[in-house]
Amino acid sequence: MDFRFSPEDEAFRIELLDFLRRELPDDWEGLSRWAEEADWDFTRAMRKKLAARGWLTMHWPKEYGGQEVSPIRSAILNEEMSYHRAPGRDIFGVRMLAPTLMIYGSEEQKERFLRPVARGEVQWCQGYSEPGSGSDLASLQTRAVSDGDDYVVNGSKIWTTMAHQADWMMLLARTDPDAPKHRGISFLLVDMKSPGVSVQPVHNMTGGHDFNQVFFDNVRVPKANLVGEENRGWYVGVTLLDFERSGIDYSATARRLLDELTEWAKSTVMNGRPVSEDPQVKNDLVERHMEAEAARLLAYNVAWMQGQGLVPNKEASISKVFGSETLQRVTSTAMEVLGLYGQLRPGDRRAPLMGRVPENWMFSFSHTIAAGTSEIQRNIIATRGLGLPRG
């Protein structure tokens, strides 16, 4: 196995880093909150610049606006963008919806929905979880009732990231209430400007506004927006999850925080010596660095498989559970190394690392829940990876 990148991929990384140095402010520390309009305007502007260079959709087929390069190239983009906390990527449209449509969508749907994503013109969100349906996703109760050329949708979705900025939603809804719960579900594409759609913000414990609850009150969705077969949307939906779980963001975020923490430990003297010379601190930092590198390699393995025309399943779950839990361990270690100062939030002049650590620590818990909990990932690894019987 060759772990080296190709010369072309290395050249792209250098070009990307040069682009980020030019486009990001010198004192760039990342967006403060998604909900702030100034941040959102900057995000959209950066996305348009990425799209203009063809970087948003490099691994797509050319007929849909791509360059047909290896998904490894897109993984490099995602890694560096995450590491530098740079805005502009389109996780929902590019990583999740597009590859799913390429498998299950009609030619008309591909032509209609993929090109705006490739141009960086549209924001998507994901309508999966409901107030009463989390890990047991197949128990969802949002209804889509056939009425002529439309479905009439009623129900609610929650934890819907970016719904307050989204133009469209990829929605799972029950179209046959009498079918077994994994079968009577359909995958619909919903215009968020449709009459009857309302969005209520959900603020997380860091004070940020990523999440929302979305309500559907007799929302009409054209049947032309059904992806795949009616009542067989579960298979479409879980394919999308495999693409969602294959991100490299966890390891890149962990490595950035570890690099900053390591520099802080080297330059901060306590009890007459640098913090980094403490045996426990040194051991913890080494272990976290090794775990972050392992998580990185697992994510690149998923990208390599996608480049071979495969849809990673258990491999995506392995990458997701290990990556998200690695990030959680990294933030916990950072809190321990910083001690009581690690509790100081952004804006406090005494806060190490600009107060980023407690926010990262609190948010890290959501990573082991979103896109399928760690328990769900381990079930997938056990049954589909190791062939173990269901409990």
The rounded distance, in Å, linking the Cα atoms of 246 and 149 is 36
Report which DSSP code applies to 232.
B
The angle, 0 to 180 degrees and rounded to 10, between the axes of the packed helices 71-83 and 249-267 is 40
The rounded distance, in Å, linking the Cα atoms of 196 and 218 is 6
Calculate mean pLDDT across residues 95-124. 95
C-alpha closest to that of 238 among 387, 143, 137:
137
**pLDDT-derived band at 31, boundaries 50, 70, 90:** low
Question: Which active-site residues does the annotation give?
Answer: 244
Average pLDDT score over the chain: 92
Calculate mean pLDDT across residues 232-237. 95
Query: Is 242 a residue whose pLDDT tops 90?
Result: no
Q: Answer whether 354's CB lies under 8 Å from 29's CB.
A: yes
pTM of the predicted protein model = 0.89
| pLDDT on residue 391 | 67
Q: Answer whether 302's CB lies under 8 Å from 312's CB.
A: yes
Query: Is 313 a residue whose pLDDT tops 90?
Result: no
CATH number of 7-89: 1.10.540.10
Q: Where are the domains of the chain?
A: 7-89, 125-231, 245-385
3-state DSSP call for residue 183? coil
The residue that leads in pLDDT, 39 or 188, is 188
**pLDDT-derived band at 321, boundaries 50, 70, 90:** very high
Report which DSSP code applies to 276.
G
Q: Answer whether 91's CB lies under 8 Å from 136's CB.
A: no
125-231 has which fold? Butyryl-CoA Dehydrogenase, subunit A; domain 2 (2.40.110)
CATH number of 245-385: 1.20.140.10
